């Protein structure tokens, strides 16, 4: 079993990275494989709306989208993580979801019945909108969405500040436990 975590931040190894890793910690305890993909150094153009994605991929092959989308398709679980930018997900995350969303709309089998979790790092406002935006992607793609004891946002501005949000970090830990619970039920009949 494998879970891929996608960090939509423009900062390497920042707060969103810390949150995804907190969820990963719990998955690893259960023997679930993990892989982090950080978008800060990736080039993903927005969807052109050409409508040619019936071929299970995207005909725009001049950027980093295909490699990342292939890993989403291969994984059993997907964590989408974004910092809150302008009360929403980052533009990097948005571009990925536009492209992936259109392909999967035409090829629904690609992500069906995977397990998904969304997390957001936020200084103060817009966390709910960002988490909702990522969950909308999952819900529209027949991906089972994992919840926790609170909505999946953690407060912090500078790198590392999210660690001071004890309730938020505890929520990430619980999220990881819930994700591994469902993955094992689905794939190991545990």
- Cβ–Cβ < 8 Å for 38, 9: yes
Q: Does 14 bind ligand FMN (CB under 6 A)?
A: yes
Binding window for ligand FMN (CB under 6 A); candidates: 22-30, 51-59, 79-87, 102-110 = 79-87
Binding window for ligand FMN (CB under 6 A); candidates: 120-128, 133-141, 143-151, 170-178 = 120-128
Structure tokens at 100: 């992936």
Nearest alpha carbon to residue 155 among 19, 27, 21 = 19
Structure tokens at 72: 């989403």
Q: How far is the CB of 60 from ligand FMN (least distance, A)?
A: 25
Partners of 122 in beta bridges: 155
Quick one: DSSP state of residue 87?
T
Q: Does 87 bind ligand FMN (CB under 6 A)?
A: yes
Number of residues that bind ligand FMN (CB under 6 A): 19
Q: How far is the CB of 84 from ligand FMN (least distance, A)?
A: 4
- Cα separation of 1 and 190, whole Å? 13
Q: Does 54 bind ligand FMN (CB under 6 A)?
A: no
Look-up of token digits 């990430």: 172
Binding residues vs ligand FMN (CB under 6 A): 9, 11, 14-16, 83-87, 121-126, 156-157, 159
């Amino acid at each position: 079993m494998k879970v891929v975590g996608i960090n939509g931040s423009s900062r390497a190894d920042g707060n969103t990275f810390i949150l995804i890793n907190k969820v990963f910690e719990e998955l690893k305890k259960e023997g679930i494989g993990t892989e982090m993909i950080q978008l800060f150094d990736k080039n993903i153009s927005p969807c052109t709306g050409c409508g040619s994605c019936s071929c299970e991929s995207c005909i725009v092959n001049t950027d980093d989208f295909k490699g990342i989308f292939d890993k989403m398709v291969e994984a059993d679980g997907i964590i989408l993580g974004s910092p809150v930018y302008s009360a929403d997900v980052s533009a990097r995350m948005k571009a990925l979801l536009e492209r992936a969303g259109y392909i999967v709309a035409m090829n629904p089998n690609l992500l069906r019945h995977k397990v998904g979790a969304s997390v957001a790092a936020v200084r103060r406002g817009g966390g709910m909108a960002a988490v909702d935006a990522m969950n909308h992607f999952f819900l529209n793609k027949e991906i089972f969405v994992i919840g926790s004891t609170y909505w999946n946002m953690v407060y912090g501005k500078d790198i590392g500040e999210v660690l001071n949000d004890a309730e938020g970090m505890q929520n990430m830990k619980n999220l990881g436990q819930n994700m591994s619970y469902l993955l094992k039920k689905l794939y190991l009949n545990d």
